[in-house]
Structure 1
Amino acid sequence: MTRRRVLRGAVALVAVAASVLLLGSTATPTPTPPPVADDPADPIRAAEYWLDGAGIREAWQTTRGEGVTIAVIDTGIGKVPQVFGEAVVGGTDVSGAGTPDGRTPLGAVDGNHGSWVASLAAGRGKPDGTGMIGVAPEADLLSVSVGFGAAAAVPFTEQVAKGIRWAVDHGADIINLSFTTNTLDWDESWDDAFLYAFEHDVVVVVAAGNRGSGTNIIGAPATIPGVLTVGGVDQTGTASIEASTQGITIGISAPSEGLLGVSADGEVVSWSGTSGAAPIVAGVAALIRSAHPDISANDVINRIIKTAMPVADAQKPRDPLYGFGLVDADAAISANIPTVSENPMGDLAEWVRLFRRADSAPTPEPTLAPVDIPPLPDADAPTEPGSPLLPSADSLRYGTLPLIALTVPGILVALGVTAAARRIRSARVPVRHNPDSEE
């Protein structure tokens, strides 16, 4: 099956027109669910250009994610009845600063981030077909609240490890991580946590990060073998300059510009970043698992990358900007894709075996044999000039050490958000800037 599709522009937000060309489709022998209440005249619903551009509305003819659970490990999912309603079936806080149910937004600036992410993955929309709807509107959600920086009483690496284990133990089929760090490496506690998820057949979807927020190349957890790392594209399907980044571990791309999200107070905002591209892919993974209840996590990932829409100028088979291509939800559900026995995104267990060997090299025992000590030179004896390529005592004291102190302050954590968040009130009312967001 060959597909070409252009991501459509958003009404009232993005003045980009496009078309959708379908060159073939293979239907799955599953009952067609009742149609989704969908009002195309609603400016909010019409602005969700990815619903058509990424084949999501077509996929809804087969499934909307029923029976699948997505864990959002983020700043907490707000209590917005019309958007999340009965969607959030459980939650916890691992930051030491939130509430036990994981539903209290954490962070004065980033508190809405978790709600934006969750609304893209599985927002319910309104019964009359208006308002924002997620990619998998019948999937369940778990809200695991984490704190970034001063918003937490627990070290960040510990929060993530604990959050992943909690999500797995409470029935997550998919875990979404919309944050990144400034380092390719990761804490060893993440080895065990991510392995725990993979061993329990959980798909882990991770945002690649954004140049607009300082991530010029992907960092952990997007570098961990086995995760599905998501890059970002604009409304035309072109790699985003600001709202994405690059790296050899990117597996798939999804829209990251001109996205919508529902804040913790119910306001709909426009925002950009791979933090939004990741939950779109997590929602697609939920649709796949719902349509194929017995499918493995490895096969979910394989379906997503094997059915990706190709990008004309991208490297084949995998591009550092696009990965394997642009996500296509309908094809990922309906195409005839052979099963795989291994995770196409890599084997974390093998990586750990090779690079974190359990048995360290034996420490040499101190020798008891006498050692001849050469006599010290006379104090007035001339000294040979040292090599200019080697550090002197002065350069170590006044150059190297202060530099290290300045350049290694610790691991920085960033949310995958760039551009301003703007409140959406009406298609006819000018968009008002959210004063809490960065310009």
Structure 2
Amino acid sequence: MRRLARLAALALALVVLTGATPTPTPTETPTVREREYWIADLGIDKAWAATKGKGVTIAVLDKGIVEGPPAFAGVVGGADMSGVGAPNGRKPVDVKERDHGSWVASMAAARDTGDQGEMIGVAPEASLLSVSLGFGDLAAVPFDEQVAKGIVWAVDHGADIINLSFTTGRQSWPESWDDAFLYAMTHDVLIVVAAGNRGSGTTSVGAPATIPGVLTVGGVDPKGKASVEASTQGITIGVAAPSEELLGIGADGTLSVWPGTSGAAPIVAGVAALVEAAHPGISAIDVMNRIIKTAKKPADVSKVPDPLYGYGVIDAHAAVTADVPSVTKNPMGDLAAWVKVNRRQEAGPLPTQTAAPVEVPPLPPVETQPEAGSSFLPSAEELRTGTLPLFALCGAGILVVLGVIAAVRRARSARVRR
């Protein structure tokens, strides 16, 4: 004990003599790029060796991508479907959540400014289309109609990928969406959809995540485990991507931390852009197939697709570089077949006559029957065989009875006279 005290006193004396003061070990603050953990964890940085998405266009159907921040220099067009936004789709429609559309867009394709303190998107060289939607009472147009028209507009204006980071909370969808989604699919456009979040009240996937043929994205935490609050579950989930501790550039150009599959979906949309750019001419269903077939199945998942992870957590590098055979059918379902079975179809044209009519000979004339008499009067046959003999017998019987009565009376009279 005394030895330890002497050593402490000696150390203090040395500090006093040298004038040195102990300093704490400096803690380095991670850069914004380092905080984007999904870039390295999903192999996105390795995929950038092949491409950064140049030549591919992602349409973001959301609350509008704001104008101004350099990160959104890749926006090449847009439109408003709500009736209350800007014609170019760049005015955030929602006042309370006006950052949402910009956050989504920055996750997918924020431009690379070269500054490690600035956010970069998954596909930083991809182009963006801003299609603004109004949710609830904010819009002058019904939401179902906005979505249908927005998808068609995006397809007609060059979208290769459409990102939908919203849910209706219901499994069914309006019939108007059938034609719109089929329009995109038949024009070889991939639709990426967020699964929804339990923290927002979504316990299971709802439309549009329930529509056959779309790529639905569930969420995981930074460790790759299914997120409890920032995801949901359902048999239509195709893959999973990070949905916690995400970054996003807001409407005012500042950086925010946010959660949800609304951010997981544009990560996958960005990876899809990398795949399309690396494989020119590839079909949308092959892009989807590459993403789900190269996803990493979690260790505790025995069978895929899994209601939490789908086919697994997305692997961008493998999706871009792996040898994956081409497919001829959408691996996430056939919307056209679903519509044929579940929607009432209009009757087709009547069949045309293929043979001459056959002439049928006329039927023989109908034999006339004698008019029936009254049912209360006897027929001639009945009179001859029944009624007349009955009258004769009755008459004879009456005469016999009368004779007997007369004889009895004469007998009685004779007794009285005696």
TM range (shorter): 0.7 to 0.9
Map of 1:122 onto structure 2: 109
Q: Give SS of 1:198's match.
A: helix
Verify the 8 A CA contact 2:32 2:116 in the aligned structure 1: no
Match among 337, 343, 365 for residue 356 of structure 1: 343
**Where does 1:394-433 land on structure 2 (aligned, <5 Å)?**
none
**Where does 1:17-416 land on structure 2 (aligned, <5 Å)?**
43-85=31-73, 87-359=74-346
Question: What is the aligned-residue RMSD (CA, Å)?
Answer: 1.3
Shift, 1:41, TM fit: 7.6
Shift, 1:316, TM fit: 1.2
Shift, 1:357, TM fit: 2.9
Name the structure where strand makes up a greater proportion of residues: 1
Shift, 1:81, TM fit: 3.2
Name the structure where helix makes up a greater proportion of residues: 2
Q: Give SS of 1:179's match.
A: coil
Residue ranges of structure 1 left out of the alignment (5+ in a row)? 1-39, 362-439
Verify the 8 A CA contact 1:233 1:253 in the aligned structure 2: yes
Q: TM-score, normalised by structure 2?
A: 0.75
d(CA) in 2 for partners of 1:41, 1:343: 45
d(CA) in 2 for partners of 1:236, 1:360: 54
d(CA) in 1 for partners of 2:101, 2:48: 24
d(CA) in 2 for partners of 1:305, 1:315: 16
CA deviations over 1:109-154 (Å, ceiling 9, x no partner): 1211000000000001323343000000000000000001121110
Verify the 8 A CA contact 1:45 1:130 in the aligned structure 2: yes
Map of 1:7 onto structure 2: none
CA deviations over 1:59-105 (Å, ceiling 9, x no partner): 000000000000000000011332112x0000000000101000000
Verify the 8 A CA contact 1:232 1:253 in the aligned structure 2: yes
Verify the 8 A CA contact 1:42 1:130 in the aligned structure 2: no
Alignment length (residue pairs)? 321
Identity of matched residues, %: 65
Q: Relative to structure 1, is the Cα distance of residues 336 and 41 closer, same or farther in structure 2, using a 3 angstrom cutoff?
A: farther
d(CA) in 1 for partners of 2:274, 2:232: 26
d(CA) in 2 for partners of 1:331, 1:275: 23
Verify the 8 A CA contact 2:31 2:116 in the aligned structure 1: no
Q: Relative to structure 1, is the Cα distance of residues 310 and 148 closer, same or farther in structure 2, using a 3 angstrom cutoff?
A: same
Letter in 2 for 1:67: G
Shift, 1:360, TM fit: 7.0
d(CA) in 2 for partners of 1:42, 1:102: 34
d(CA) in 2 for partners of 1:92, 1:266: 21
CA radius of gyration, larger in:
2
Q: Give SS of 1:141's match.
A: strand
d(CA) in 1 for partners of 2:169, 2:70: 37
Map of 1:388 onto structure 2: none
Verify the 8 A CA contact 2:77 2:130 in the aligned structure 1: yes
Q: Relative to structure 1, is the Cα distance of residues 315 and 359 closer, same or farther in structure 2, using a 3 angstrom cutoff?
A: farther
Shift, 1:108, TM fit: 1.4
Higher relative contact order, structure no. (Cα contacts within 8 Å, ≥ 6 residues apart): 1
d(CA) in 1 for partners of 2:200, 2:116: 35
CA deviations over 1:352-379 (Å, ceiling 9, x no partner): 0000031379xxxxxxxxxxxxxxxxxx
Q: Give SS of 1:261's match.
A: strand
Shift, 1:256, TM fit: 0.1
Shift, 1:42, TM fit: 5.8
- Bigger mean CA deviation after superposition, 107-116 or 312-321: 312-321
Q: Give SS of 1:180's match.
A: coil
Letter in 2 for 1:226: G
Q: Give SS of 1:185's match.
A: coil
Residue ranges of structure 2 left out of the alignment (5+ in a row)? 1-27, 349-418
